[in-house]
Structure 1
Amino acid sequence: MQDARGAPAGSPGPSLRLLFLFLFVMGVAPSPALTAGCPDRCVCDDQLVVQCAGQDLTLFPNDLPLATRQLIISNNRIGDLPALQLNYLSDLVYLDCSNNSLTEISESTFGNLRKLAYLDLSFNTLLQIEDRTFGPLSSLVMLRLTDNPGLSEIHPDAFSENMALQVLDVSRNNLTVLNISSLIALPALRSLGLSGNPWRCDCDTEDLCLWCHSDHRPDSGQTVCHSPSELAGQRLAEVGMQLRADCHQGLGYWDYLFFIAIGFVIFSAGTVSAWVMGVLMVLYERYSKRKSEELDSDDEDERGGMGNSSATNQDLTVAL
Protein backbone atom coordinates (compact mmCIF):
# COMPACT_ATOMS: atom_id res chain seq x y z
CA MET A 1 0.00 0.00 0.00
CA GLN A 2 1.35 3.42 -1.00
CA ASP A 3 0.49 6.95 -0.09
CA ALA A 4 -0.56 9.59 -2.61
CA ARG A 5 3.09 10.29 -3.56
CA GLY A 6 3.97 6.67 -4.16
CA ALA A 7 5.81 6.06 -0.91
CA PRO A 8 5.08 2.77 0.83
CA ALA A 9 2.61 3.08 3.64
CA GLY A 10 4.20 3.27 7.05
CA SER A 11 7.63 4.34 5.68
CA PRO A 12 8.97 7.83 6.36
CA GLY A 13 8.67 10.27 3.51
CA PRO A 14 11.63 12.03 1.86
CA SER A 15 11.35 15.06 4.13
CA LEU A 16 11.40 12.89 7.24
CA ARG A 17 14.37 10.89 5.94
CA LEU A 18 16.27 14.12 5.30
CA LEU A 19 15.47 15.24 8.83
CA PHE A 20 16.81 11.94 10.24
CA LEU A 21 19.97 12.27 8.14
CA PHE A 22 20.50 15.87 9.30
CA LEU A 23 20.12 14.90 12.96
CA PHE A 24 22.54 11.99 12.47
CA VAL A 25 25.14 14.19 10.86
CA MET A 26 24.76 16.84 13.54
CA GLY A 27 25.08 14.24 16.27
CA VAL A 28 28.10 12.39 14.85
CA ALA A 29 30.13 14.82 12.81
CA PRO A 30 32.36 17.28 14.69
CA SER A 31 31.28 20.86 14.76
CA PRO A 32 32.86 23.02 12.03
CA ALA A 33 34.19 25.26 14.77
CA LEU A 34 36.06 22.28 16.19
CA THR A 35 37.42 21.11 12.84
CA ALA A 36 38.81 24.38 11.56
CA GLY A 37 41.68 24.30 9.10
CA CYS A 38 45.21 23.18 9.95
CA PRO A 39 47.79 25.87 10.88
CA ASP A 40 50.47 26.82 8.38
CA ARG A 41 53.53 24.54 8.34
CA CYS A 42 51.70 21.95 10.43
CA VAL A 43 50.25 18.55 9.59
CA CYS A 44 46.88 17.58 11.04
CA ASP A 45 45.68 14.01 11.38
CA ASP A 46 41.89 13.75 11.40
CA GLN A 47 41.85 17.03 13.31
CA LEU A 48 43.02 15.24 16.47
CA VAL A 49 46.83 15.17 16.12
CA VAL A 50 48.60 18.36 15.08
CA GLN A 51 52.28 17.95 14.16
CA CYS A 52 54.28 21.19 13.95
CA ALA A 53 57.73 19.90 14.94
CA GLY A 54 60.90 21.26 13.35
CA GLN A 55 59.27 24.08 11.39
CA ASP A 56 61.44 26.92 12.73
CA LEU A 57 58.39 28.51 14.33
CA THR A 58 58.96 31.52 16.58
CA LEU A 59 55.32 31.93 17.62
CA PHE A 60 52.72 29.51 18.92
CA PRO A 61 50.67 28.26 15.92
CA ASN A 62 47.36 29.99 15.26
CA ASP A 63 44.03 28.51 14.16
CA LEU A 64 44.49 25.18 15.90
CA PRO A 65 41.45 22.89 15.72
CA LEU A 66 39.66 23.07 19.05
CA ALA A 67 39.26 19.29 19.09
CA THR A 68 43.04 18.75 19.05
CA ARG A 69 44.10 15.99 21.43
CA GLN A 70 47.81 15.83 20.63
CA LEU A 71 49.93 18.89 19.86
CA ILE A 72 53.61 18.55 18.99
CA ILE A 73 55.53 21.81 18.61
CA SER A 74 59.00 20.52 19.50
CA ASN A 75 62.26 21.60 17.83
CA ASN A 76 61.22 25.16 17.08
CA ARG A 77 62.14 28.58 18.49
CA ILE A 78 58.87 29.39 20.27
CA GLY A 79 59.47 31.75 23.20
CA ASP A 80 56.03 31.92 24.79
CA LEU A 81 52.94 29.78 25.36
CA PRO A 82 49.96 32.16 25.08
CA ALA A 83 47.44 31.16 27.73
CA LEU A 84 44.48 32.51 25.77
CA GLN A 85 45.13 30.32 22.73
CA LEU A 86 46.32 27.27 24.61
CA ASN A 87 43.38 27.12 27.00
CA TYR A 88 40.90 26.87 24.13
CA LEU A 89 42.27 23.35 23.60
CA SER A 90 40.31 21.86 26.49
CA ASP A 91 40.48 18.32 25.01
CA LEU A 92 44.27 18.34 24.79
CA VAL A 93 45.83 15.18 26.24
CA TYR A 94 49.42 15.29 24.92
CA LEU A 95 51.60 18.41 24.62
CA ASP A 96 55.23 18.32 23.49
CA CYS A 97 56.99 21.70 23.77
CA SER A 98 60.54 20.35 23.99
CA ASN A 99 63.55 22.04 22.41
CA ASN A 100 62.18 25.57 22.16
CA SER A 101 63.05 28.92 23.77
CA LEU A 102 60.50 29.02 26.58
CA THR A 103 61.72 31.10 29.53
CA GLU A 104 58.62 31.36 31.72
CA ILE A 105 55.39 29.54 32.46
CA SER A 106 52.74 30.23 35.08
CA GLU A 107 49.53 28.83 36.52
CA SER A 108 47.46 30.65 33.90
CA THR A 109 49.40 29.00 31.07
CA PHE A 110 47.61 25.67 31.60
CA GLY A 111 44.49 26.98 33.33
CA ASN A 112 41.93 25.00 31.30
CA LEU A 113 43.86 21.86 30.31
CA ARG A 114 42.14 19.51 32.74
CA LYS A 115 42.63 16.46 30.51
CA LEU A 116 46.34 16.92 29.80
CA ALA A 117 48.23 13.77 30.78
CA TYR A 118 51.65 14.25 29.12
CA LEU A 119 53.68 17.47 29.15
CA ASP A 120 57.24 17.84 27.85
CA LEU A 121 59.07 21.10 28.60
CA SER A 122 62.60 19.74 28.27
CA PHE A 123 65.43 21.49 26.41
CA ASN A 124 64.13 25.01 26.99
CA THR A 125 65.46 28.04 28.88
CA LEU A 126 63.19 27.99 31.92
CA LEU A 127 64.61 29.75 35.00
CA GLN A 128 62.16 28.82 37.76
CA ILE A 129 58.93 26.96 38.44
CA GLU A 130 56.51 29.01 40.50
CA ASP A 131 53.84 28.07 43.02
CA ARG A 132 50.95 26.04 41.52
CA THR A 133 52.35 26.32 37.99
CA PHE A 134 50.92 22.88 37.20
CA GLY A 135 48.01 23.09 39.65
CA PRO A 136 45.23 23.06 37.01
CA LEU A 137 46.61 19.87 35.41
CA SER A 138 44.61 17.44 37.53
CA SER A 139 45.09 14.57 35.04
CA LEU A 140 48.84 15.02 34.52
CA VAL A 141 50.65 11.67 34.59
CA MET A 142 54.07 12.43 33.09
CA LEU A 143 56.04 15.69 33.30
CA ARG A 144 59.46 16.18 31.73
CA LEU A 145 61.46 19.25 32.81
CA THR A 146 64.93 18.09 31.84
CA ASP A 147 67.82 20.00 30.26
CA ASN A 148 66.90 23.55 31.21
CA PRO A 149 70.41 24.82 32.07
CA GLY A 150 69.12 27.92 33.88
CA LEU A 151 66.44 26.21 35.96
CA SER A 152 67.67 26.71 39.53
CA GLU A 153 64.49 27.01 41.59
CA ILE A 154 61.33 24.93 41.92
CA HIS A 155 58.72 26.17 44.39
CA PRO A 156 57.92 23.64 47.15
CA ASP A 157 54.23 23.63 46.13
CA ALA A 158 54.78 23.51 42.36
CA PHE A 159 53.43 19.92 42.15
CA SER A 160 51.30 19.82 45.30
CA GLU A 161 48.00 19.43 43.39
CA ASN A 162 49.11 16.90 40.77
CA MET A 163 47.73 13.84 42.52
CA ALA A 164 47.82 11.73 39.33
CA LEU A 165 51.50 12.44 38.60
CA GLN A 166 53.48 9.21 38.16
CA VAL A 167 56.67 10.27 36.38
CA LEU A 168 58.58 13.49 37.08
CA ASP A 169 61.97 14.16 35.49
CA VAL A 170 64.01 17.23 36.50
CA SER A 171 67.38 15.86 35.38
CA ARG A 172 70.22 17.97 33.97
CA ASN A 173 69.10 21.35 35.22
CA ASN A 174 70.85 23.77 37.58
CA LEU A 175 69.14 22.66 40.79
CA THR A 176 71.16 22.74 44.01
CA VAL A 177 68.28 22.11 46.44
CA LEU A 178 64.79 20.66 46.13
CA ASN A 179 62.06 20.78 48.75
CA ILE A 180 60.32 17.42 48.56
CA SER A 181 57.50 18.09 51.02
CA SER A 182 54.90 18.16 48.24
CA LEU A 183 56.47 15.25 46.34
CA ILE A 184 56.25 12.95 49.35
CA ALA A 185 52.49 13.56 49.46
CA LEU A 186 51.94 12.50 45.82
CA PRO A 187 50.32 9.04 46.05
CA ALA A 188 50.87 8.01 42.42
CA LEU A 189 54.52 9.10 41.99
CA ARG A 190 56.59 6.15 40.78
CA SER A 191 59.67 7.69 39.16
CA LEU A 192 61.69 10.83 39.91
CA GLY A 193 64.65 11.82 37.73
CA LEU A 194 67.24 13.90 39.58
CA SER A 195 70.58 13.19 37.91
CA GLY A 196 72.86 15.77 36.33
CA ASN A 197 72.12 18.61 38.77
CA PRO A 198 74.80 20.36 40.90
CA TRP A 199 73.30 19.21 44.20
CA ARG A 200 74.56 20.93 47.36
CA CYS A 201 74.59 18.25 50.02
CA ASP A 202 74.00 20.08 53.28
CA CYS A 203 71.22 20.48 55.82
CA ASP A 204 68.95 22.07 53.16
CA THR A 205 68.98 18.85 51.11
CA GLU A 206 68.95 16.45 54.05
CA ASP A 207 65.32 15.39 53.42
CA LEU A 208 66.01 14.82 49.72
CA CYS A 209 69.07 12.67 50.46
CA LEU A 210 67.19 10.62 53.06
CA TRP A 211 64.33 10.11 50.61
CA CYS A 212 66.76 8.86 47.97
CA HIS A 213 68.16 6.52 50.61
CA SER A 214 64.77 5.06 51.53
CA ASP A 215 63.11 5.13 48.08
CA HIS A 216 65.55 3.82 45.51
CA ARG A 217 65.03 5.83 42.33
CA PRO A 218 66.00 4.54 38.85
CA ASP A 219 68.79 7.10 38.40
CA SER A 220 69.96 7.16 42.02
CA GLY A 221 73.41 5.98 40.96
CA GLN A 222 73.88 9.09 38.81
CA THR A 223 72.46 11.54 41.34
CA VAL A 224 75.59 12.78 43.12
CA CYS A 225 76.68 15.69 45.30
CA HIS A 226 78.44 18.60 43.64
CA SER A 227 79.31 20.43 46.85
CA PRO A 228 80.76 20.70 49.46
CA SER A 229 84.09 19.42 48.23
CA GLU A 230 84.37 16.66 50.85
CA LEU A 231 81.12 15.11 49.59
CA ALA A 232 81.55 15.82 45.86
CA GLY A 233 80.92 12.74 43.74
CA GLN A 234 79.07 10.80 46.43
CA ARG A 235 75.55 9.63 45.76
CA LEU A 236 72.74 11.47 47.53
CA ALA A 237 71.45 8.16 48.83
CA GLU A 238 74.81 7.53 50.55
CA VAL A 239 75.13 10.83 52.42
CA GLY A 240 71.61 11.02 53.84
CA MET A 241 72.42 9.40 57.17
CA GLN A 242 75.65 11.37 57.50
CA LEU A 243 73.77 14.63 56.98
CA ARG A 244 71.20 13.61 59.57
CA ALA A 245 73.99 13.07 62.11
CA ASP A 246 75.74 16.33 61.20
CA CYS A 247 72.60 18.46 61.11
CA HIS A 248 71.10 17.16 64.36
CA GLN A 249 74.15 16.53 66.51
CA GLY A 250 74.25 17.50 70.23
CA LEU A 251 76.19 20.38 71.72
CA GLY A 252 79.97 20.10 71.36
CA TYR A 253 82.94 21.56 73.26
CA TRP A 254 82.91 24.83 71.32
CA ASP A 255 79.16 25.19 71.79
CA TYR A 256 79.53 24.95 75.56
CA LEU A 257 82.49 27.34 75.49
CA PHE A 258 80.42 29.81 73.50
CA PHE A 259 77.55 29.67 75.98
CA ILE A 260 79.98 30.10 78.92
CA ALA A 261 81.50 33.15 77.24
CA ILE A 262 78.06 34.63 76.60
CA GLY A 263 77.09 34.01 80.23
CA PHE A 264 80.28 35.66 81.49
CA VAL A 265 79.68 38.71 79.32
CA ILE A 266 76.09 39.01 80.54
CA PHE A 267 77.20 38.57 84.18
CA SER A 268 79.96 41.15 83.80
CA ALA A 269 77.64 43.63 82.15
CA GLY A 270 75.10 43.15 84.93
CA THR A 271 77.74 43.59 87.64
CA VAL A 272 79.13 46.77 86.11
CA SER A 273 75.63 48.16 85.62
CA ALA A 274 74.74 47.45 89.26
CA TRP A 275 77.98 49.10 90.49
CA VAL A 276 77.36 52.21 88.38
CA MET A 277 73.79 52.43 89.61
CA GLY A 278 74.99 52.07 93.21
CA VAL A 279 77.56 54.84 92.82
CA LEU A 280 74.99 57.12 91.27
CA MET A 281 72.54 56.44 94.09
CA VAL A 282 75.20 57.24 96.75
CA LEU A 283 76.15 60.46 95.00
CA TYR A 284 72.51 61.42 94.70
CA GLU A 285 71.91 60.74 98.41
CA ARG A 286 74.94 62.82 99.40
CA TYR A 287 73.86 65.64 97.13
CA SER A 288 70.32 65.54 98.51
CA LYS A 289 71.59 65.55 102.13
CA ARG A 290 73.95 68.45 101.52
CA LYS A 291 71.23 70.42 99.77
CA SER A 292 68.87 69.79 102.69
CA GLU A 293 71.48 70.95 105.23
CA GLU A 294 72.10 74.14 103.28
CA LEU A 295 68.39 74.90 103.18
CA ASP A 296 68.06 74.31 106.95
CA SER A 297 71.02 76.62 107.63
CA ASP A 298 69.49 79.37 105.52
CA ASP A 299 66.20 79.03 107.40
CA GLU A 300 67.94 79.34 110.78
CA ASP A 301 69.85 82.42 109.66
CA GLU A 302 66.65 84.00 108.44
CA ARG A 303 64.88 83.28 111.72
CA GLY A 304 67.85 84.64 113.69
CA GLY A 305 67.85 87.85 111.71
CA MET A 306 64.16 88.34 112.32
CA GLY A 307 64.69 87.82 116.10
CA ASN A 308 67.45 90.44 116.31
CA SER A 309 65.31 92.94 114.43
CA SER A 310 62.44 92.42 116.89
CA ALA A 311 64.71 92.97 119.93
CA THR A 312 66.08 96.16 118.47
CA ASN A 313 62.60 97.49 117.93
CA GLN A 314 61.68 96.73 121.55
CA ASP A 315 64.76 98.57 122.86
CA LEU A 316 63.88 101.62 120.80
CA THR A 317 60.37 101.61 122.18
CA VAL A 318 61.60 101.50 125.82
CA ALA A 319 64.03 104.30 125.17
CA LEU A 320 61.30 106.50 123.86
Structure 2
Amino acid sequence: MQAMTYSRYGGPEVLELSEVPRPKVAPGTVLIRVKASSVNPVDWKVMSGGLDRMLDIHFPVIPGWDVAGVVEQVGPDTPEFSPRDEVYAYGRRDTVAGGTYAEFVALPVSMVTRKPASLSWEQAAGLPLTGMVAQRTLDALAPSTGETLLIHNGSGGVGRIAIQLAVERGLRVIATASEKHHQRLRELGAEPLEYGPGLVHRVRELAPQGVDVAADFVGGVLQDTQAVLRNGGRHASIADPAVTEHGGRYIWVRPDGSELARLSELADAGKLTVDIDRTFPMDQAADAMRHSQQGRVAGKIVLTPFAEHAG
Protein backbone atom coordinates (compact mmCIF):
# COMPACT_ATOMS: atom_id res chain seq x y z
CA MET A 1 0.00 0.00 0.00
CA GLN A 2 0.98 3.64 -0.28
CA ALA A 3 1.81 5.63 2.83
CA MET A 4 3.69 8.74 3.87
CA THR A 5 6.72 7.77 5.93
CA TYR A 6 9.86 9.17 7.52
CA SER A 7 13.04 7.31 8.42
CA ARG A 8 14.73 9.94 10.58
CA TYR A 9 13.75 12.85 12.79
CA GLY A 10 13.34 16.22 11.15
CA GLY A 11 10.88 18.69 9.65
CA PRO A 12 8.27 18.13 6.95
CA GLU A 13 11.05 17.61 4.41
CA VAL A 14 11.74 14.12 5.81
CA LEU A 15 8.30 12.87 4.75
CA GLU A 16 8.23 10.76 1.60
CA LEU A 17 5.71 8.75 -0.35
CA SER A 18 6.50 5.06 0.14
CA GLU A 19 5.25 1.62 -0.73
CA VAL A 20 4.86 -0.41 2.47
CA PRO A 21 3.20 -3.71 3.42
CA ARG A 22 -0.48 -3.63 4.23
CA PRO A 23 -0.95 -4.01 8.02
CA LYS A 24 -1.69 -7.45 9.39
CA VAL A 25 -5.12 -7.96 10.94
CA ALA A 26 -4.67 -9.54 14.36
CA PRO A 27 -7.39 -10.89 16.64
CA GLY A 28 -9.46 -8.08 18.10
CA THR A 29 -8.44 -5.57 15.43
CA VAL A 30 -10.02 -4.02 12.35
CA LEU A 31 -8.36 -3.01 9.09
CA ILE A 32 -9.66 0.40 8.03
CA ARG A 33 -9.52 1.79 4.50
CA VAL A 34 -8.65 5.43 5.16
CA LYS A 35 -11.15 7.96 3.82
CA ALA A 36 -9.57 10.87 5.70
CA SER A 37 -6.93 11.58 8.30
CA SER A 38 -6.05 14.84 10.01
CA VAL A 39 -2.91 16.74 10.94
CA ASN A 40 -2.36 17.48 14.61
CA PRO A 41 0.57 19.48 16.02
CA VAL A 42 1.65 16.36 17.87
CA ASP A 43 2.30 14.68 14.50
CA TRP A 44 5.12 17.06 13.59
CA LYS A 45 6.31 17.30 17.18
CA VAL A 46 6.81 13.53 17.24
CA MET A 47 8.47 13.67 13.80
CA SER A 48 10.91 16.34 15.00
CA GLY A 49 12.05 14.12 17.89
CA GLY A 50 10.40 16.34 20.47
CA LEU A 51 8.69 13.42 22.22
CA ASP A 52 11.57 10.93 21.97
CA ARG A 53 11.94 10.91 25.75
CA MET A 54 8.36 9.69 26.07
CA LEU A 55 7.53 7.52 23.06
CA ASP A 56 9.32 4.57 21.48
CA ILE A 57 9.82 5.16 17.74
CA HIS A 58 10.29 2.37 15.18
CA PHE A 59 11.55 3.72 11.84
CA PRO A 60 10.28 4.01 9.20
CA VAL A 61 7.28 5.74 10.77
CA ILE A 62 3.88 6.32 9.21
CA PRO A 63 2.62 9.40 11.10
CA GLY A 64 -0.94 10.21 12.08
CA TRP A 65 -3.30 9.26 14.88
CA ASP A 66 -6.72 10.40 13.56
CA VAL A 67 -8.66 8.38 11.01
CA ALA A 68 -12.10 8.07 9.48
CA GLY A 69 -12.79 5.25 7.06
CA VAL A 70 -14.48 2.00 6.12
CA VAL A 71 -13.81 -1.38 7.70
CA GLU A 72 -12.02 -3.48 5.09
CA GLN A 73 -11.45 -6.59 7.21
CA VAL A 74 -11.93 -7.74 10.79
CA GLY A 75 -9.59 -9.95 12.73
CA PRO A 76 -10.63 -13.19 14.45
CA ASP A 77 -13.10 -12.78 17.30
CA THR A 78 -14.07 -9.19 16.47
CA PRO A 79 -17.88 -9.20 16.55
CA GLU A 80 -18.19 -5.45 17.13
CA PHE A 81 -17.72 -4.54 13.46
CA SER A 82 -18.19 -5.92 9.97
CA PRO A 83 -16.68 -5.08 6.59
CA ARG A 84 -18.15 -1.88 5.05
CA ASP A 85 -18.94 -0.35 8.47
CA GLU A 86 -18.14 3.37 8.59
CA VAL A 87 -15.90 4.07 11.57
CA TYR A 88 -13.43 6.52 13.03
CA ALA A 89 -10.80 6.48 15.75
CA TYR A 90 -8.02 8.12 17.69
CA GLY A 91 -5.35 5.55 16.92
CA ARG A 92 -2.35 6.36 19.10
CA ARG A 93 -0.30 3.31 20.07
CA ASP A 94 2.33 2.89 22.75
CA THR A 95 4.93 2.57 19.98
CA VAL A 96 5.03 5.08 17.11
CA ALA A 97 5.23 3.24 13.78
CA GLY A 98 2.09 2.47 11.78
CA GLY A 99 -0.10 5.58 11.66
CA THR A 100 -2.96 6.90 9.58
CA TYR A 101 -1.23 8.78 6.73
CA ALA A 102 -1.78 5.68 4.61
CA GLU A 103 -4.24 3.73 2.49
CA PHE A 104 -4.97 1.35 5.37
CA VAL A 105 -4.49 1.25 9.11
CA ALA A 106 -5.14 -1.62 11.54
CA LEU A 107 -6.35 -0.68 15.01
CA PRO A 108 -7.51 -2.50 18.15
CA VAL A 109 -11.28 -2.57 18.29
CA SER A 110 -11.18 -0.79 21.67
CA MET A 111 -10.03 2.40 19.90
CA VAL A 112 -12.70 2.37 17.20
CA THR A 113 -16.32 3.50 17.10
CA ARG A 114 -18.94 4.19 14.45
CA LYS A 115 -18.64 7.38 12.46
CA PRO A 116 -21.31 10.02 13.18
CA ALA A 117 -23.75 10.07 10.27
CA SER A 118 -24.01 13.85 10.56
CA LEU A 119 -20.32 14.46 9.83
CA SER A 120 -18.48 14.23 6.53
CA TRP A 121 -15.41 12.03 6.25
CA GLU A 122 -13.24 15.12 6.63
CA GLN A 123 -15.09 16.36 9.72
CA ALA A 124 -15.04 12.90 11.30
CA ALA A 125 -11.29 12.63 10.77
CA GLY A 126 -10.84 16.01 12.43
CA LEU A 127 -12.71 15.10 15.60
CA PRO A 128 -11.03 12.21 17.48
CA LEU A 129 -7.88 13.73 19.01
CA THR A 130 -9.12 17.30 19.36
CA GLY A 131 -12.53 16.23 20.57
CA MET A 132 -11.27 13.73 23.09
CA VAL A 133 -8.68 16.19 24.41
CA ALA A 134 -11.37 18.83 24.87
CA GLN A 135 -13.71 16.32 26.51
CA ARG A 136 -11.05 14.92 28.84
CA THR A 137 -10.01 18.44 29.85
CA LEU A 138 -13.56 19.39 30.80
CA ASP A 139 -14.09 16.08 32.58
CA ALA A 140 -10.90 16.72 34.60
CA LEU A 141 -11.98 20.25 35.50
CA ALA A 142 -15.50 19.06 36.42
CA PRO A 143 -17.19 22.46 35.99
CA SER A 144 -20.72 23.00 37.25
CA THR A 145 -23.56 24.55 35.31
CA GLY A 146 -23.32 28.34 35.42
CA GLU A 147 -19.60 28.50 36.12
CA THR A 148 -17.29 30.60 33.95
CA LEU A 149 -14.64 28.86 31.86
CA LEU A 150 -11.66 30.64 30.29
CA ILE A 151 -10.26 28.91 27.20
CA HIS A 152 -6.81 29.92 25.99
CA ASN A 153 -6.71 29.50 22.19
CA GLY A 154 -10.40 29.15 21.47
CA SER A 155 -9.85 29.29 17.72
CA GLY A 156 -7.70 26.14 17.49
CA GLY A 157 -9.11 22.71 16.77
CA VAL A 158 -9.30 21.73 20.46
CA GLY A 159 -10.61 25.13 21.51
CA ARG A 160 -13.51 25.12 19.05
CA ILE A 161 -14.65 21.72 20.24
CA ALA A 162 -14.18 22.68 23.90
CA ILE A 163 -16.39 25.76 23.44
CA GLN A 164 -19.21 23.61 22.09
CA LEU A 165 -18.86 21.00 24.84
CA ALA A 166 -18.78 23.68 27.52
CA VAL A 167 -21.86 25.45 26.16
CA GLU A 168 -23.67 22.10 26.09
CA ARG A 169 -22.79 21.70 29.79
CA GLY A 170 -24.29 25.09 30.63
CA LEU A 171 -21.08 27.04 31.16
CA ARG A 172 -20.29 30.63 30.39
CA VAL A 173 -17.28 30.56 28.06
CA ILE A 174 -14.65 33.25 27.59
CA ALA A 175 -12.18 32.34 24.83
CA THR A 176 -9.02 33.99 23.54
CA ALA A 177 -8.31 34.30 19.83
CA SER A 178 -7.15 36.80 17.24
CA GLU A 179 -9.88 39.20 16.19
CA LYS A 180 -10.45 37.58 12.80
CA HIS A 181 -11.82 34.49 14.59
CA HIS A 182 -14.09 36.33 17.03
CA GLN A 183 -17.28 36.09 15.00
CA ARG A 184 -17.00 32.33 14.60
CA LEU A 185 -16.36 31.91 18.33
CA ARG A 186 -19.47 33.97 19.07
CA GLU A 187 -21.44 31.66 16.78
CA LEU A 188 -20.15 28.68 18.77
CA GLY A 189 -21.29 30.32 22.02
CA ALA A 190 -18.19 32.00 23.46
CA GLU A 191 -17.36 35.55 24.46
CA PRO A 192 -14.11 36.15 22.51
CA LEU A 193 -11.15 38.19 23.72
CA GLU A 194 -7.91 39.16 22.00
CA TYR A 195 -4.97 37.21 23.38
CA GLY A 196 -1.61 38.74 24.27
CA PRO A 197 -0.54 41.65 26.53
CA GLY A 198 -3.37 43.05 28.63
CA LEU A 199 -5.29 39.77 28.68
CA VAL A 200 -5.67 39.76 32.47
CA HIS A 201 -7.34 43.18 32.36
CA ARG A 202 -9.66 42.13 29.53
CA VAL A 203 -10.71 38.97 31.36
CA ARG A 204 -11.33 40.91 34.57
CA GLU A 205 -13.57 43.32 32.69
CA LEU A 206 -15.81 40.40 31.73
CA ALA A 207 -15.41 38.43 34.99
CA PRO A 208 -14.52 40.87 37.82
CA GLN A 209 -14.56 38.08 40.43
CA GLY A 210 -12.33 35.86 38.32
CA VAL A 211 -13.09 32.71 36.36
CA ASP A 212 -14.02 29.40 37.94
CA VAL A 213 -12.07 27.17 35.58
CA ALA A 214 -9.42 27.67 32.90
CA ALA A 215 -8.29 25.43 30.03
CA ASP A 216 -4.93 26.10 28.37
CA PHE A 217 -4.74 24.84 24.80
CA VAL A 218 -1.68 26.85 23.74
CA GLY A 219 0.99 26.99 26.49
CA GLY A 220 2.88 29.92 27.97
CA VAL A 221 -0.16 31.37 29.76
CA LEU A 222 0.23 30.01 33.29
CA GLN A 223 0.79 33.42 34.89
CA ASP A 224 -2.26 34.89 33.18
CA THR A 225 -4.34 31.92 34.28
CA GLN A 226 -3.27 32.31 37.89
CA ALA A 227 -4.00 36.04 37.77
CA VAL A 228 -7.63 35.55 36.71
CA LEU A 229 -8.51 32.32 38.51
CA ARG A 230 -10.71 32.86 41.53
CA ASN A 231 -9.82 31.29 44.89
CA GLY A 232 -10.56 27.60 44.68
CA GLY A 233 -10.67 27.66 40.88
CA ARG A 234 -9.37 24.77 38.76
CA HIS A 235 -7.12 24.81 35.73
CA ALA A 236 -5.64 22.37 33.24
CA SER A 237 -3.25 22.47 30.29
CA ILE A 238 -2.52 20.26 27.31
CA ALA A 239 0.67 22.19 26.52
CA ASP A 240 2.43 23.06 29.79
CA PRO A 241 3.38 20.28 32.25
CA ALA A 242 4.33 22.99 34.77
CA VAL A 243 0.65 23.37 35.66
CA THR A 244 1.03 20.37 37.96
CA GLU A 245 3.41 22.42 40.10
CA HIS A 246 0.70 25.04 40.58
CA GLY A 247 -2.31 22.90 41.43
CA GLY A 248 -3.40 22.23 37.84
CA ARG A 249 -3.89 19.14 35.70
CA TYR A 250 -1.74 18.16 32.72
CA ILE A 251 -3.87 16.42 30.10
CA TRP A 252 -2.73 13.66 27.77
CA VAL A 253 -5.72 11.89 26.23
CA ARG A 254 -5.96 8.10 25.86
CA PRO A 255 -7.44 6.22 22.90
CA ASP A 256 -10.88 4.95 23.86
CA GLY A 257 -13.69 4.14 21.45
CA SER A 258 -16.36 4.45 24.14
CA GLU A 259 -15.21 7.98 24.99
CA LEU A 260 -15.20 8.89 21.30
CA ALA A 261 -18.75 7.55 21.04
CA ARG A 262 -19.85 10.25 23.50
CA LEU A 263 -18.78 12.84 20.95
CA SER A 264 -20.57 10.94 18.19
CA GLU A 265 -23.83 11.23 20.09
CA LEU A 266 -23.44 14.99 20.44
CA ALA A 267 -22.58 15.37 16.76
CA ASP A 268 -25.60 13.37 15.62
CA ALA A 269 -27.79 15.38 18.02
CA GLY A 270 -26.72 18.57 16.23
CA LYS A 271 -24.76 19.85 19.24
CA LEU A 272 -21.23 19.45 17.89
CA THR A 273 -19.58 20.23 14.58
CA VAL A 274 -16.02 20.34 13.26
CA ASP A 275 -14.62 23.36 11.40
CA ILE A 276 -12.29 22.44 8.54
CA ASP A 277 -9.52 24.90 7.76
CA ARG A 278 -8.13 23.19 4.67
CA THR A 279 -7.75 19.78 3.04
CA PHE A 280 -4.67 18.32 1.32
CA PRO A 281 -4.21 15.09 -0.65
CA MET A 282 -2.32 12.54 1.40
CA ASP A 283 0.80 12.81 -0.75
CA GLN A 284 0.96 16.53 0.16
CA ALA A 285 1.21 15.76 3.89
CA ALA A 286 4.45 17.75 4.14
CA ASP A 287 2.66 20.88 2.89
CA ALA A 288 -0.18 20.17 5.32
CA MET A 289 2.29 20.01 8.20
CA ARG A 290 3.92 23.27 7.12
CA HIS A 291 0.49 24.89 7.08
CA SER A 292 -0.12 23.56 10.61
CA GLN A 293 3.21 24.92 11.82
CA GLN A 294 2.31 28.44 10.71
CA GLY A 295 -0.08 28.60 13.67
CA ARG A 296 -2.81 30.58 11.90
CA VAL A 297 -5.19 27.69 11.42
CA ALA A 298 -8.97 28.14 11.66
CA GLY A 299 -10.11 24.63 12.51
CA LYS A 300 -8.73 21.30 11.35
CA ILE A 301 -6.28 20.41 8.59
CA VAL A 302 -7.41 17.21 6.90
CA LEU A 303 -5.70 14.73 4.58
CA THR A 304 -7.76 13.04 1.88
CA PRO A 305 -6.84 9.78 0.11
CA PHE A 306 -4.08 9.45 -2.46
CA ALA A 307 -5.44 10.58 -5.82
CA GLU A 308 -5.64 7.13 -7.43
CA HIS A 309 -7.54 5.81 -4.39
CA ALA A 310 -9.86 8.79 -3.80
CA GLY A 311 -12.95 6.90 -4.91
Whether TM-score is above 0.5 comes out as no
Q: Which has the higher strand share?
A: 2
TM-score category (smaller protein): under 0.3
Higher relative contact order (CA 8 A, sep 6+): 2
Q: Is the radius of gyration larger for structure 1 or structure 2?
A: 1
Query: TM-score, with normalisation over the residues of structure 1?
Result: 0.22
Q: Which has the higher helix share?
A: 1
